[in-house]
């Protein structure tokens, strides 16, 4: 990041950033404010699990800034923190940057709204849109809390090349080629656009991009389970090839099935503790 860099990880400013502009739904997982101590440990499946020993992502770092901080979803397994840091530095070296959306709650677990996944500290949403000033200054409280993600699709549902630029493609490629990335969820129109736009020599990394409804204003990165988390349940293996023949066919399961604004705040009703690994109850109550 060029110019002035503000690293913010705690303190009064961070507490102010957590203040929501509107009342939000909550559940017992979202009301826990801090991670447990100890080594990071992802437990269960991405949409049915929890997270012990979560690490906190600093709100500002080289090549990135965290948005919607009042949600208190900027926690993850150490491998996720390292991935974001690594991606941010790569983008900064390319004179680019990114805005970070939801990661996990302090102890993972079901979110009261927005996602079915993001429960074990290995998922992160990255905005396609980048604030024009973010490489030279730290965004303000109002900007972080009140700026919304912006779609890169036209009203007809096709990719708008003035919004989905070469820098956006570069951001996706940097993420998709990271060795820790298991898959990335993008809107089917975006996968279709890239399959048609990029030469065959570039199609290798498109294999990582999985078409899924929504995801027109952000892409959802999912990392592999780590060897230090033996209770982590991996995603089923992907099919071979570049995946371009699957465009428009949503085949992924246990994922964010709708854009965030359409997911009702009923996760507690949809996912009971009996569906989570037994150890998650202990982690919640520590």
Q: For 242-265, what is each residue's pLDDT tens digit? A: 888 766 544 444 344 333 433 333
CATH code for 19-285?
Answer: 3.30.1380.10
Residues 207-248: pLDDT tens digits?
999 999 999 999 999 999 999 999 999 998 877 788 887 665
Instruction: Map residue 35 onto helix, strand or coil.
Output: coil
In 114-148, which positions are buried (b, 16+ CB within 10 angstroms) versus exposed (e)?
Answer: bbbbbbbbbbbbbbbbbbeebbebbbeeeebbebe
SS3 content of the chain, % helix, strand, coil (to 5): 30, 15, 55
Separation CA 187–CA 102 (nearest Å): 17
Report which of residues 44 and 22 the model is more confident about.
44
Is the pLDDT at 273 greater than 70? The verdict is no
Separation CA 193–CA 200 (nearest Å): 13
Is the pLDDT at 8 greater than 80? The verdict is no
- Other C-beta atoms closer than 10 Å to the C-beta of 251 total 12
Mean pLDDT taken over the chain: 86
Q: What is the pTM of this model?
A: 0.86
Q: How confident is the model at residue 21 (pLDDT cuts 50, 70, 90)?
A: low
Q: What is the pLDDT of residue 19?
A: 53
In 3D space, the residue among 222, 214, 97, 99 whose CA is nearest the CA of residue 167 turns out to be: 97
- To which residue do tokens 């779609």 refer? 151
Separation CA 112–CA 209 (nearest Å): 27
Total residues found in the chain within this entry: 286
Residues 89-136: pLDDT tens digits?
999 999 999 999 999 999 999 999 999 999 999 999 999 999 999 999
Report which of residues 28 and 270 the model is more confident about.
28
Q: Where are the domains of the chain?
A: 19-285
Q: What is the pLDDT of residue 24?
A: 75
Q: What is the pLDDT of residue 255?
A: 41
In sequence order, which residues have a C-beta less than 8 Å from that of residue 107 and are 6 or more positions away?
29, 32, 35, 36, 50, 51, 52, 54, 283, 284
């Amino acid at each position: 990041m060029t110019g002035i860099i503000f690293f913010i990880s705690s303190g009064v400013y961070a507490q102010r950033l957590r203040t929501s502009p509107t009342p939000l739904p909550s559940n017992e997982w979202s009301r826990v404010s801090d991670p447990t101590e100890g080594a990071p440990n992802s437990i269960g499946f991405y949409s049915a699990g929890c997270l012990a020993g979560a690490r906190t992502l600093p709100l500002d770092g080289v090549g990135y800034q965290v948005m919607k901080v009042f949600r208190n979803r900027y926690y993850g397994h150490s491998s996720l923190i390292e991935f974001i840091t690594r991606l941010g530095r790569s983008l900064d070296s390319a004179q680019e940057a990114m805005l970070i959306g939801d990661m996990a709650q302090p102890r993972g677990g079901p979110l009261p709204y927005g996602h079915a996944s993001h429960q074990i500290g290995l998922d992160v949403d990255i905005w396609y849109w980048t604030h024009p000033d973010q490489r030279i200054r730290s965004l303000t409280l109002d900007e972080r809390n009140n700026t919304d993600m912006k779609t890169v699709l036209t009203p007809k549902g096709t990719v708008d090349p003035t919004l989905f630029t070469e820098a956006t493609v570069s951001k996706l490629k940097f993420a998709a080629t990271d060795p820790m990335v298991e898959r990335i969820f993008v809107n089917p129109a975006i996968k279709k656009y890239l399959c048609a736009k990029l030469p065959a020599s570039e199609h290798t990394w498109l294999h990582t991009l999985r078409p899924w409804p929504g995801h027109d204003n952000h892409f959802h990165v999912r990392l592999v389970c780590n060897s230090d988390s033996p209770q982590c349940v991996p995603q089923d293996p992907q099919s071979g090839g570049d995946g371009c023949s699957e465009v428009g066919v949503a085949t992924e399961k246990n994922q964010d099935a709708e854009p965030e604004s359409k997911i009702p705040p009923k996760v507690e009703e949809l996912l009971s503790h009996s569906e989570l690994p037994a150890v998650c109850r202990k982690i919640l109550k520590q």
